[in-house]
Amino acid sequence: MTKPLTILGIETSCDETAAAIVRRSGEGKGEILSNTVFSQIAEHTPYGGVVPEIAARAHVEHLDGLIARALDDAHCGWDDLDAIAATAGPGLIGGVIVGLMTAKGIALARGLPLIAVNHLEGHALTARLTDGVDFPYLLLLVSGGHSQLLMVEGVGRYARLGTTIDDAVGEAFDKVAKLMGLGFPGGPAVEKIARGGDAARFPLPRPLFGKPGCDFSFSGLKTAVRQLAEAQGPLDEKTRADIAASFQAAAADVLADRTINAMHMAEGFFGAKPKRLVVAGGVASNLALRKRLEEAASSRGYAFIVPPAKLCTDNGAMIAWAGAERFALGLVDNLDVSPLARWPLDPTASPARGAGVKA
């Protein structure tokens, strides 16, 4: 039992500028006091994807106001805070610098401890904030930049079981949306039109399905969708919906297959069932994927935990919470801590082999 903590969290690693105040009770229970997000979608839409330089400038413009609002919404003053947590990577380096430097400035000016948070640890620990999940658990982390299966043994203790050998699943959703003219960001748009589509109309490849291990590959699926769309074009509404549904079903099959393999691997490595499957990251907000993964979890007797959609996509509360978990263990950082474009959760994991490998 530690003393209750009130932490400001800052997130600027991609295209959401976010600040939040989270409280962690002495028993380790989390409570979100405020959670403010400025989505930069409008800034990036004309370019069909996130432009790093525009993102960094937008963070500079909006971050101060968001922090003030997060304090206001939480009815907190600076003196109520115990520490400042900020994403220090991985991500678009310009944005990470804006958030981390802002946090350093506040820490210095207010004499508060600084916690440099790994963005992926923010996603990984969110289920403990929302659902009080105990360690250990198996984590499927699926976002725009990452597709990984990890054993989460504790704060800062991650064993990577599998990762993508090419594209991340969120990236595949974004590219499929773009090639069908559905706009940006792609995931929610694909999910929306897939609801009215026939998932059985177009048989699409399921890369690595049925193969040993739990690495992922999504680039072949994305290419198959592009070739299909070109062959079917110009696309009417029904065909677009059927392509979206067929793609989403293929992605769901692959995620479920790889996750079941990861369960076997985790049980082998650790000698006992982790018993809990947590899904996190922006793609975890997809309801069709959740359903498929929930079936996979229950088929093997695992509890299934997914945070609410707005805590799956990037937000400040997850950074504040990861900061609170670290701070409670006495983990703080010096003011000379560096922002990092790449920062794997499991630094001991061997690099994945494949074209365009992501860490």
Q: Which positions touch ligand KG4 (CB under 6 A)?
A: 14, 143-145, 170-171, 173-174, 185-188, 191, 281-283, 285-286, 313-314
Paired sense of beta strands 114-118 and 83-89, if any: parallel
Min separation Cβ 47 and ligand KG4, Å: 15
Q: How far is the CB of 4 from ligand KG4 (least distance, A)?
A: 28
CB of 153 to Zn ion, least distance (A): 21
CB of 126 to ligand KG4, least distance (A): 10
State how far the Cα of 310 lies from the Cα of 16, in Å rounded to an integer. Answer: 12
CB of 121 to Zn ion, least distance (A): 11
Q: Which is nearer to Zn ion, 12 or 143 (CB)?
A: 143
For helices 237-270 and 169-179, what crossing angle results, to 10°? 170
Residue number, 12 or 217, with CB nearest to Zn ion: 12
CB-nearer residue toward ligand KG4: 274 or 282: 282
Phi, psi of 236 (to 5 degrees): -85, 175
CA–CA dist 164, 353 (Å, integer): 9
Burial of 330 (0-12, 13-18, 19+ CB in 10 A): exposed
**Residue 185: which of Zn ion, ligand KG4, none does it interact with, CB under 5 to 8 A by kind?**
ligand KG4
Nearer residue to ligand KG4 within complex by CB, 12 or 143:
143
Q: How far is the CB of 120 from Zn ion (least distance, A)?
A: 7
Give the residue with the Cβ less far from ligand KG4, 94 or 187.
187
Beta strands in 208-257 (DSSP E): none
The least distance separating ligand KG4 from the CB of residue 297, rounded to whole angstroms, comes to 18
Longest dimension (CA), the chain: 62
User: Which token pair is 59?
Assistant: 């963070």
Q: Are 178 and 49 in contact (CB under 8 A)?
A: yes
The Cα–Cα gap between 222 and 175 comes to: 7
Residues 288, 248 contacting (CB under 8 angstroms): yes
Shorter beta-carbon distance to ligand KG4: residue 6 or 89: 89
Q: Are 200 and 187 in contact (CB under 8 A)?
A: no
Buried-state track 116-130, b at ≥16 Cβ within 10 A, e below 16: bbbbbbbbbbbbbbb
CB nearer to Zn ion: pick between 55 and 179? 55
Interaction site with Zn ion (CB under 5 A) = 143, 314
Decide if 252 contacts 292 (C-beta within 8 A): yes
Find which of ligand KG4, Zn ion, none residue 186 binds, CB within 5 to 8 Å per kind: ligand KG4
- Residue 23 CA to residue 26 CA, distance in Å, equals 10
Give the phi and the psi of residue 36 in degrees, each rounded to 5: -110, 135
261 binds, among ligand KG4, Zn ion, none (CB under 5 to 8 A by kind): none
In the complex, minimum distance from the CB of residue 289 to Zn ion, in angstroms, rounded to a whole number: 16
For residue 171, give the 3-state DSSP assignment: helix
187 binds, among ligand KG4, Zn ion, none (CB under 5 to 8 A by kind): ligand KG4
